[in-house]
Structures are given as structure tokens and as C-alpha cells.
Structure 1
Amino acid sequence: MPRLNPKQPTQPPERGQILDREEYIEQAHLFELLHEQAGGQFPIQDLLEQLRHEVLATTRLPMAMEYMLTEVRHSGLLGPAMRQLAHYFTPFQTYLIDQSELDTGRFMMNTAFQIMRAEAEYRVETATPAGMFFYQFEVLCRNRLSYDRGLTAMSGDPIFDDRWSRWILGLRAQIGLVDFADLVFLVSEDYRKKLSAAGKPTEDKGPFLFGEKEGRIALANRRKDPLYLFSALQRHLGYPAVPKPEPAETTQELIPQMARRIERLEARIQLMEEERRASLDITKFYEQNKHRLNLPE
């Protein structure tokens, strides 16, 4: 796992504000449309030009799209424009787009739009800080993104208060050294109640950010794959699941391949029949006569 980079800022990035419900509804609609069409034959600037007329004009999203469209035409990138719109897009959204625009190509922009669509839909449904934390952290785990830069971006989300931001920033030095389920359990109400029942002080512990149920589920998933913890939280507490990449459609490529193989088989069967009838003329395979052949490429 990536280690803490001492050059990374210890303070969270610029924090925006929680938007109105209508803004998140239109964001989810935009990201869904971009997910369906990104990676096709149309460049991103053409998609933004077309889709800006489909979002609700009474929200601030059309103005944000205008700025993004100008930046894409200038630099070809979405990330710098979203970074300048920190009052509208969260740092985690900007981080996902930045990672999708890297030359390595491991994290695709189509996947980023799918993740951002599900996140915006969760915000519409009265998201909680705990649910948003588990969702965003699962995104980092499943897509093998940098914990250091990813947690820094998460700490600037407006859904997290100062206590949450400080704790998330502190995770950068603990991920990979301490079991993730233990980290969750130690800041849960279940742990606080166990300390109180044992007569131990709780003033120097915490902050207790997660509820009692989250603590119990984390305790039951110690020393296990964190994905099992995320799955249990989704089953019992209704936390959102991270969209999984859809398998690539191979049917359109498979049919032409099968057609070429059938043509080769027919040519071979024809040669075998001519040889069996002793009527095979091998002179047509000579270099000067190869133009007479009608074999598939």
C-alpha cells in the first residue's frame, strides 16, 4: 500500500458547501449520460456541448459545464476545470477525474463517471458521513487508487466536519499498518460503551464517529478482507455499494473472427477433396500464379 508522502499537505483541501438536492439530482443525471456515452466515438467536448442543454437550467450545473467545456477545448482535460470549481465539485470527484486522465490508463473515465453518478444519487437520499466515508474508501480499495492522495481528497468533502477531516487525514499514516476493521472499531460507539462498562476512561480515546452497529460489524470482520466489511455494512445498514465495471462486450468481435475461421476451414476442405480426387493442381500455389488464388486473408 502507498506510504504517507511527507510532502503531501497535512490540511484538507479547500472545502465547498453542501449543495441543494436539485444540484445532486442533475449531477447524477449528467454523470449517467456521460457514463453511457464516454469512451465511444464522440470526444468529451462534443458530449458536454450536447448534454449541457439536457440538464435543468435553474441549477448551477449548466454554468459549471460551460466552464468545463472552455477548459476542455483549451487543454483537453476536465480535472483542472473541476479543481477551479471547488465550490461546486468535491475534491474527491476531482481526484477521480484526475486519475482517469492519467496516461497509465488503469482507471478509466467511464468508470469514474459511473462512481460519481452513484455517489450523487446517495447524496440525494440524505447521505450520512459514515456511509459516504465507507463508499469513497471502497472506491479507493476496489480501483487500487492511492490511499494518500485519495484520503486527502476525501477529507475535503463538505459532508465531513472538522473531526471527520482530522481523522481521515490521520488514516494516511495508519492504512497498511493497522487492520482497517480495528481502525473503524476504535472510533465507534461500541468501543466507547465497552470502555465505560469496564470502568476505563474515554476522554483520551476517540473521536467516536461511527455508531454502535458499525463498531459491531467491524469487530466481527477483523483480520478479514475489507471488502467483506463493506459488504456487511451494505447488507445491514443500507450503505451504498460501489458500481463494479461491466465486462466488455465481445460478441461484435467474435462473429467476424468465426466467419474468417469458417472461410479458412472451407478452403482447407476444398484442398483435401481435390487431393483425394487426384485433381489437385499445385502450380496455382506458385509465386507467379498466386493472383489466381481466392483465399481469405
Structure 2
Amino acid sequence: MSSTLLAPVLEREEYIEQAYFFRTLAERLREGVPAQMALLQIRDELLTTTRLPWAVEFLATELKHSGQLGSGMKRLIHYFTPFQAFVMTKAEEEGVRFSLDHALKVLEGEARYRSENPTPAGLFVYEFEVLARCQLGYQNGLDCMEQDSFFDEDWRQFIETVRRSMSEVEFADLIYLYSEQYIQDQQRAGREGPFPRPLFGLKEGRIAKASHGRDPLYLFAALQRQLGYPEVPRLRLPTEQRGVLQMLEHKVRELELRLRLLEGEVRGQVEVIQALGKPETAESSLEWLKRLDNEE
């Protein structure tokens, strides 16, 4: 492990406010509010009995000086976990296909899960799926996960085992080997211990055993469907952006129409165009152009 300093486990109300903070910050940024202003606005909205308003004010100051949020979260090791800072830092890296909006959704989901009835198994699988689905890098990501005091010593040793075994052992097999199902299977086969402390239950082990040789994303989905494990948010194209794309498509069609009109004038086809009539909307442009081609 790269550091002996472990991030503390916070009170439930802190995670509730964190989930609100990450969600609202994403919304304000999508609305075009400058990040500095959004942070100060949200700071005033947060519950003052928590430490988050102070942390957000620190992030606003850090953003003003460095232009980044991830560096500020790294410095607040006594409040934000190394994994939270890692996710934010990856979103701010150039050349990485992991947007800030997606990162905030991921952090909101993690904070919401921590505010409910989190288990080490559920949190571990959630964070590991973030690394896998968003392609953030296993080695550094697992190292950050290992520095969270929510995981006890056995869990930290397991995370270290996962980190060292990623290129050799399937993820599903690692879950199975540290499950009650594995111990039960070994005992049925007449083998005696000692066995490692089971970190996953019978059902998790059964699902992991059945997932051998398959894409790990199928394992995550099965755990979510069958056992209610937290789901990692996926970034979907917002409705507003889809509307913008449709508008651009209409503009392109209108430009195509105007080009055809110019071509028609050059070829002396103005009479044909007038006879056909001008299309009323951009949506009817393609049909109109087909009719023009038929007249030719």
C-alpha cells in the first residue's frame, strides 16, 4: 500500500450532503454556471452541521488557484477518500474519455450508497466496476481503494491480492475463492482448511462461480439484479444535447436544399423548382429533393 494514512469513515449525514453536492454541481455545470460560482452557491445550500461546506469552500479556493478540483480533494484526505480524489483527477486529465459530468454521477452514486446500508463487498464491487467500465486504470485505482478505512485489514489484503493478480486470475474467480460458497465446496470435497476469511456470501460466490470465463460486466449486472448491489451510473446523452444534434441535422438539410437550388438556377431549372414548390420544413427536404430528381 502506498500510504499508511487511511481515509476515515464519516457520519451518514456527510454522505447525504456529498450526494447532493455532486448531483447539484453536475446540474449547475450543465446549465452553464461557472464552476467557481456553482461551488459557492452550493456551499451556502449545504447543511451547516456537516463539514462539507468548509470542504467545498476549500475546493473553490483550490479551483481558483490551480483550475482543478481533484488536487483539492487529494489535500482533504481527512474528508474525501483517495478513491473520490482519483475519480475526479482522472476526469480532469487531458486525453481521457471520462468526462467531469460522468465523474460527478459516479461520485454521487458512491456517496448515496455510503449513506444507506453499505457493506464492504458492495462498495468494493461498485468501485471496481467504476475502474473497469470507465477504463480508469486498475493499479492506481485499487491502491486508492486500499487506503479507505471502511475496509478492514482482511479487506485491504484482499484488495492488494486483486491488484497483484489482475493479469493472471479472473476477477470472478477471486470473488469465488473468498466466498462462503468456495469453503462449502471444499468441505463437500473432503478438503480441510485453513481457508481464507470469507468476504463474500454464498450467493455472491455462486454467481461468481457461474461467471467464470465471462465478461466481468455480466458479473456486476448479475450481482445488481440478484442481490441489490449498487449500480454504476452510465453517461447518457442529455435530452438537450439530442435536441441540439437534431437541430444541426435540420440545418445541414437546409444547406443541402439551398445548394440544390443554386445548382438548379445554373442548369436553368428554376421553372421546375417553382412548379414543385418550396418545402415547408427541413424534415420534408429529402422528399422534396427526391421529387426534384424524378423531374430531371
Calculate the TM-score normalised by the size of structure 1: 0.84
The CA RMSD over aligned residues, in Å, is 2.1
Flag the 1:157–1:277 CA change in 2: closer, same or farther, 3 A: closer
User: Do residues 49 (structure 1) and 40 (structure 2) align?
Assistant: yes
Flag the 1:25–1:269 CA change in 2: closer, same or farther, 3 A: same
Alpha-carbon distance, 1:89 to partner: 0.7
Q: Name the one with the larger helix percent.
A: 2
- Tell whether the 8 Å contact from 1:12 to 1:153 is kept in structure 2 after alignment: no
The separation in 2 between residues aligned to 1:98 and 1:270, in whole angstroms, is 52
Alpha-carbon distance, 1:39 to partner: 5.3
The separation in 1 between residues aligned to 2:34 and 2:4, in whole angstroms, is 30
Q: Which residue of structure 1 aligns with residue 145 of structure 2? A: 154
Unaligned segments of structure 1, at least 5 residues: 1-9, 279-297
Q: Which has the higher contact order (CA 8 A, sep 6+)?
A: 1
The separation in 1 between residues aligned to 2:133 and 2:4, in whole angstroms, is 23
User: Do residues 144 (structure 1) and 135 (structure 2) align?
Assistant: yes
The separation in 1 between residues aligned to 2:35 and 2:63, in whole angstroms, is 8
Q: Which residue of structure 1 aligns with residue 268 of structure 2? A: 275
The separation in 2 between residues aligned to 1:214 and 1:107, in whole angstroms, is 29
- Tell whether the 8 Å contact from 1:38 to 1:109 is kept in structure 2 after alignment: no
Kindly report which structure 2 residues correspond to 1:181-260, keeping only aligned pairs within 5 A, or say none: 181-203=172-194, 205-247=195-237, 249-260=241-252
Q: Which residue of structure 1 aligns with residue 293 of structure 2? A: none
CA-to-partner distance for each residue in 1:28-56, whole Å, 9 max, x for gaps? 00010112233553332221111111111
Q: Which residue of structure 2 aligns with residue 93 of structure 1? A: 84
Q: Which residue of structure 1 aligns with residue 16 of structure 2? A: 25
- Tell whether the 8 Å contact from 1:15 to 1:158 is kept in structure 2 after alignment: yes
Tell me which of 17, 29, 43 is aligned to 1:38.
Answer: 29
Moved more, 260-269 or 27-36: 260-269
Alpha-carbon distance, 1:65 to partner: 0.8
Query: For residue 165 of structure 2, what is the amino acid of its counterpart?
Result: Q
Unaligned segments of structure 2, at least 5 residues: 272-296
Q: Which residue of structure 1 aligns with residue 6 of structure 2? A: 15
Percent identity among equivalent residues?
43
Please list every run of at least 4 consecutive aligned residues from structure 1 whose deviation after the TM superposition is greater than 4 angstroms: none
The separation in 1 between residues aligned to 2:220 and 2:252, in whole angstroms, is 46
The separation in 2 between residues aligned to 1:277 and 1:86, in whole angstroms, is 72
The separation in 2 between residues aligned to 1:197 and 1:242, in whole angstroms, is 36
Q: Number of residues paired by the alignment?
A: 269
